[in-house]
Amino acid sequence: MRAAIYARVSRDARKQGRSVAEQVEECTAWAEREGWDVVEVIDETGSASRYARSTGARQRWGELVALVASGRIEVLLTWEHSRALRTLEDYTDLRNLCSKHGVAWGYTGTLYDMTKRDARFRTGLDALLAEDESARTSDRLRRNVRSRAAAGHPHGKLPYGYRREYDATTGALLRQVPDDPRVVDGEEVAGTAPLAREIIERVGHGETLYRIAQDLTLRGVPLPRPARTRHDKAAWLPTTVKRIASNPAYVGLRVHRGEVVGQASWAALVDEATWERAQAALEQMGRGRPRVDRSVKWLLSGIARCGACGGPMIHHVNRGSSTYLCKYCMGVTRVQEPVDELVIDRLLQVLAHLDNEPATDRPSPELTAAVDELAALRARRESFIDQAADGSIAPATLAKVEAKLRPRIEEKERLVRTLRRPSVLSGLDLSDPRALWERLDIGQRRSLLAATLEVTIQPAGRGRRIFDPTLIEVLPAGSARG
């Protein structure tokens, strides 16, 4: 009899790989014992699971179907039932195909004549049992992930700035710890934790994502993950910086399916105040004041507003003269240099009257109250999670409590971020504003100005050619307008 072997990579209960070669070897030995001639071996490394995500999984299944239908074989051998099937629909197709073409199916040492009722019943029962076991395994894995998430244990991708320690014997995950500088085998290892802290702190200070990404790239800081292909540029992206700055893992919170489920078992990289400043900065980047394009060469382009229509003033060259022109109505224009000088002078006056430590770092009574209320809500959620872990309350009860607490916690988090406004002044030495200004590049100057002042250029009226400083309105950022 002519036989074909179909083999696919598998894993046993201990997660040890059962290689394709081993499967082929066992099936070949079986064929030799029976005196069958193996005319074809079809093997592949893709998963036969219905949950497989790879687009290349079971890419040779079509070859197997064609081989059975070709009449070239009388026996199909697989290592076990699940090696050939993924769903009950697959089983039905294979059963009908083998029955139609008179091909027997053999697995785990038994050969089934698929034209007979009892063979179809037995293999059909195995198909049901395999599907049930697959579903049980999937449910068990999901429950385990949820349980570990509720307990704050790490799972999934390793956050940048951390490293994981494993048992040397079993390979089991022991803990997730900050990737701080350390000595390994006599050599100093820099670690990535300081870089993750730096990113979050810089975002909290109001620095743009683009600026941070550009700086990390210029410094040659390795990417969190290598480029996918050799054609990809090894450059930090603003989206990568944002992903790090917005990950609750860095403040010691465990996230499951996009939601914070409690305190994590690992140490936080930054304190809660630093974290909340960064979240407030990210929210502010996405709404309200226009984003500052740090690549622009002109100080007030896109920052100053038109007093006639409220549109942005942009740089424009008029008859060889550098000016600011309203982008929308184009009815307000002003010579660029005297406007810049006036605004810079006003900015330095404002900076000279500020304390070295920004007022936003000193919490207001409203902020203190909001932080306390948020801490109380989080502690209440933690107490219910602990009760569920101890078995004092049912998981269904915990789900109901979380559903009620979650919107209240999220609302309070938004309030805290609103009250804790980020400041680009944090960490800057304001004892000599002029010297500070000279040290900044154009992008830093624009960010500082946009965060500190609101500039409006009022219409000058026809025929007025002399610069009138009273028509340049300079107010502190966030000032109410009449």
Given pLDDT bands bounded at 50, 70 and 90, which one contains residue 370?
Answer: confident
Per-residue pLDDT reduced to its tens digit, 112-127: 999 999 999 998 888 8
Cβ-Cβ contacts under 8 Å for 435 (sequence gap 6 or more): none
Q: Which residue has the higher pLDDT, 147 or 171?
A: 171
Task: Answer yes or no: is pLDDT of 136 > 70.
Answer: yes
Given pLDDT bands bounded at 50, 70 and 90, which one contains residue 149?
Answer: very low
Given pLDDT bands bounded at 50, 70 and 90, which one contains residue 146?
Answer: low
What burial class does residue 459 get, using C-beta atoms within 10 Å of its C-beta: 0-12 exposed, 13-18 middle, 19+ buried? middle
The reported pLDDT for the residue numbered 58 is: 58
Task: Answer yes or no: is pLDDT of 43 > 70.
Answer: yes
The reported pLDDT for the residue numbered 129 is: 84
Distance CA(422)–CA(428), nearest Å, equals 13
Given pLDDT bands bounded at 50, 70 and 90, which one contains residue 50?
Answer: very low
The residue-averaged pLDDT of 405-428 equals 72
Q: Which residue has the higher pLDDT, 405 or 153?
A: 405
Strand order, beta sheet including 472-476: 305-306, 453-457, 472-476
Q: Classify 352 as helix, strand or coil.
A: helix
Given pLDDT bands bounded at 50, 70 and 90, which one contains residue 46?
Answer: low
The reported pLDDT for the residue numbered 13 is: 42
Lowest mean pLDDT among 35-44, 303-312, 362-371, 375-384: 362-371
Give me the sign of the Cα torsion angle 314, 318, 323, 324: negative
Strands 37-44 and 2-8, how do they pair? parallel
Given pLDDT bands bounded at 50, 70 and 90, which one contains residue 55?
Answer: very low
Task: Answer yes or no: is pLDDT of 278 > 80.
Answer: yes
Q: Is 320 left (phi over 0), alpha (psi -120 to 50) or beta?
A: left
Q: Which amino acid is at 34?
A: E
Expressed in angstroms, the distance from the first to the final Cα of the chain is 95
Distance CA(92)–CA(89), nearest Å, equals 5
Per-residue pLDDT reduced to its tens digit, 4-35: 998 876 654 444 446 788 889 999 999 999 99
> How many angstroms from the chain centroid is the CA of residue 358?
31
The reported pLDDT for the residue numbered 205 is: 82
% of residues, the chain, pLDDT over 70: 77
Q: Which residue has the higher pLDDT, 331 or 292?
A: 331
Task: Answer yes or no: is pLDDT of 243 > 60.
Answer: yes
The reported pLDDT for the residue numbered 32 is: 93
The reported pLDDT for the residue numbered 184 is: 83
Contacts 24+ apart (CB under 8 A), 96-105: 97/65, 97/68, 97/69, 98/68, 101/68, 101/69, 101/71, 102/74, 103/68, 103/73, 103/74, 103/75, 103/76, 104/74, 104/75, 104/76, 105/75, 105/76, 105/78
Given pLDDT bands bounded at 50, 70 and 90, which one contains residue 288?
Answer: very low
% of residues, the chain, pLDDT over 90: 27
CB 420 within 8 A of CB 277: yes
Given pLDDT bands bounded at 50, 70 and 90, which one contains residue 358?
Answer: very low
Q: Which range has the top average pLDDT, 169-178, 337-346, 392-401?
A: 337-346
Task: Answer yes or no: is pLDDT of 57 > 50.
Answer: no
Task: Answer yes or no: is pLDDT of 3 > 90.
Answer: yes
Where does 151-208 have alpha helices with state H?
193-204
The residue-averaged pLDDT of 234-257 equals 83
The reported pLDDT for the residue numbered 157 is: 81
Q: Classify 432 as helix, strand or coil.
A: coil
Task: Answer yes or no: is pLDDT of 138 > 50.
Answer: yes
Calculate the average pLDDT of the chain: 80
CB 213 within 8 A of CB 241: yes
Per-residue pLDDT reduced to its tens digit, 205-224: 878 888 899 899 988 998 88
The residue-averaged pLDDT of 89-104 equals 89
The residue-averaged pLDDT of 58-77 equals 86
